[in-house]
């Protein structure tokens, strides 16, 4: 078995672990900082909306010896607006200029033809009205709202309302970060970007639902035992699915990274950036939120329940009694350790721990 597979098995059995839930205030602080940065970027820089949302004209030329950078200068000088130029596989150019109406597009077509050294009649011009982009945006917002409502209803029925709230917060967190990254890097927002944003919602929920399902099974009849608090069970469930979450996220990120960095960056296929950046950032943010946001939030909300508060008191009281017996020396050390809950003899909270302590070759775990 590989090292990663062996680690996953040990995490699942609870032999090793990291106390994510205990450090939740740190994760919350990091997420709040990132979210504030994203919102600030949106407020200051805004989004670079594509021609589909602002309206304008798209000129397509036949094969030409003029470079994309030269054509961009020609188009911007003729139109007085920023232009985006992409090289086509046929050797031609796609020149996109925002904020033009029909009359303006016709007047600069000749100047563009002269600048790129082709005949005016060979250039095709396509006008895009801003109303079409508004329709796309409105439909996207409607789809997003419907999706959020359905997710909350499903999770509330399949699990419980606390998990539904935590998953919803994690989704908003992922979307905010993704849109903020678009604002920071200045990538153009197109209908492809909207598709990417809607696509990451499902990916974002995947890991979260996997952890929630394990937590639901682990917390059955939780009040009938006094070994673990709800937060500890939540942390054990999270550790049990940690390697699986990492594996699925890495496998999903690899092809998207190929689109973004090789296709969009190295090969210069800029249109791939529209969807690949949203997918890449959304997948990474979704994996982060399922581990560091969603599960700790559920634990926070659940620990406020009167039954969970009472359980925590019983667990802590039992541990204190067992520790007192051990320290007083009234009983054999091994017997005292047997009364301690599993994990009480591990390293300090928050550390990655090894196999639980053994004395005389006998496991300290109560059989």
The predicted pLDDT at position 351 comes to 40
**Start and end residues for every CATH 3.30.70.3400 domain found in the chain:** 56-128
Greatest mean pLDDT among 108-122, 205-219, 288-302 lies in 288-302
Task: Answer yes or no: is pLDDT of 254 > 60.
Answer: yes
Strand partners, 48: 188
**Start and end residues for every CATH 1.20.1640.10 domain found in the chain:** 3-49+132-304
The predicted pLDDT at position 221 comes to 84
* Pair type for strands 48-49 and 188-189: parallel
Please give the Cα distance from 281 to 342 (Å, whole number): 38
* pLDDT greater at residue 8 or residue 97: 97
Decide: pTM greater than 0.85: no
Question: How far from 367 is each of 316, 341, 363, 364, CA to CA, in Å?
Answer: 20, 11, 9, 9
Identify the residue whose tokens are 């040990």: 10
The predicted pLDDT at position 261 comes to 76
Residue 194 CB contacts under 8 Å (≥ 6 apart), including other chains: 136, 137, 140
Task: Answer yes or no: is pLDDT of 173 > 70.
Answer: yes
At 16, is the pLDDT very low, low, confident or very high (cuts 50, 70, 90)?
Answer: low
Please give the Cα distance from 147 to 158 (Å, whole number): 16
Lowest mean pLDDT among 126-130, 152-156, 183-187, 315-319: 126-130
Task: Answer yes or no: is pLDDT of 106 > 80.
Answer: no
Is 3.30.2180.10 the CATH number for 56-128?
no
Task: Answer yes or no: is pLDDT of 182 > 80.
Answer: yes
Greatest mean pLDDT among 134-148, 220-234, 348-362 lies in 220-234
Residue 39 CB contacts under 8 Å (≥ 6 apart), including other chains: 176, 180
**Superfamily of segment(s) 3-49+132-304:** Multidrug efflux transporter AcrB transmembrane domain (1.20.1640.10)
C-beta separation of 17 from 239 below 8 A: yes
Task: Answer yes or no: is pLDDT of 3 > 50.
Answer: yes
The predicted pLDDT at position 362 comes to 41
Strand partners, 160: none
Task: Return mean pLDDT, the chain.
Answer: 78
Average pLDDT of the residues in 73-101? 79
Average pLDDT of the residues in 77-82? 78
Average pLDDT of the residues in 264-287? 74
Please give the Cα distance from 82 to 101 (Å, whole number): 15
Task: Answer yes or no: is pLDDT of 68 > 90.
Answer: no
The predicted pLDDT at position 349 comes to 38
* pLDDT greater at residue 216 or residue 4: 216
Three-state DSSP class for residue 45: coil
Please give the Cα distance from 198 to 148 (Å, whole number): 11
5-23 burial, b for 16+ CB within 10 Å, e for fewer? eeebebbbebebbbbbbbe
Average pLDDT of the residues in 167-182? 90
């Amino acid at each position: 078995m590989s090292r990663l597979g062996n680690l996953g098995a040990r995490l699942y059995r609870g032999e090793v672990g990291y106390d994510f839930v205990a450090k939740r205030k740190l994760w919350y602080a990091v997420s709040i900082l990132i979210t504030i940065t994203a919102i600030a970027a949106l407020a200051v820089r805004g989004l670079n909306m594509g021609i589909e949302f602002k309206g304008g004209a798209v000129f397509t030329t036949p094969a030409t010896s003029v470079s994309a950078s030269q054509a961009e200068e020609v188009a911007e000088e003729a139109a007085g607006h920023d232009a985006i130029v992409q090289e086509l596989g046929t050797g031609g150019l796609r020149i996109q200029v925002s904020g033009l109406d029909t009359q303006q597009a016709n007047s600069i077509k000749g100047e563009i033809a002269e600048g790129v050294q082709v005949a005016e009649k060979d250039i095709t011009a396509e006008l895009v009205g801003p109303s079409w982009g508004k329709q796309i945006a409105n439909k996207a917002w409607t789809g997003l709202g419907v999706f959020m409502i359905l997710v909350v209803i499903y999770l509330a029925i399949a699990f419980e309302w606390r998990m539904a709230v935590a998953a919803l917060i994690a989704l908003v967190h992922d979307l905010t970060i993704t849109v903020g990254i678009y604002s920071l890097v200045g990538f153009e927002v197109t209908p492809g970007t909207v598709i990417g944003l809607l696509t990451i919602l499902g990916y974002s929920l995947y890991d979260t639902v996997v952890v929630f399902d394990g937590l639901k099974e682990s917390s059955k009849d939780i009040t009938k035992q006094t070994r673990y608090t709800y937060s500890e069970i939540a942390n054990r469930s999270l550790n049990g699915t940690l390697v699986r979450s990492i594996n699925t996220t890495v496998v999903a990120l690899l092809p998207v990274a190929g689109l973004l960095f090789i296709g969009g960056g190295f090969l210069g296929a800029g249109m791939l950036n529209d969807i690949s950046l949203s997918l890449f950032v959304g997948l990474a943010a979704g994996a982060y939120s399922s581990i560091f946001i969603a599960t700790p939030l559920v634990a926070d909300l659940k620990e406020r329940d009167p039954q969970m508060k009472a359980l925590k008191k019983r667990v802590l009281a039992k541990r204190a009694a067992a520790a007192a017996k051990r320290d007083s020396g009234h009983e054999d050390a091994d017997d005292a350790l047997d009364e301690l809950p599993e994990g009480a003899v591990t390293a300090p909270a928050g550390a990655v721990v090894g196999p639980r302590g053994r004395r005389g070759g006998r496991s300290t775990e109560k059989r």
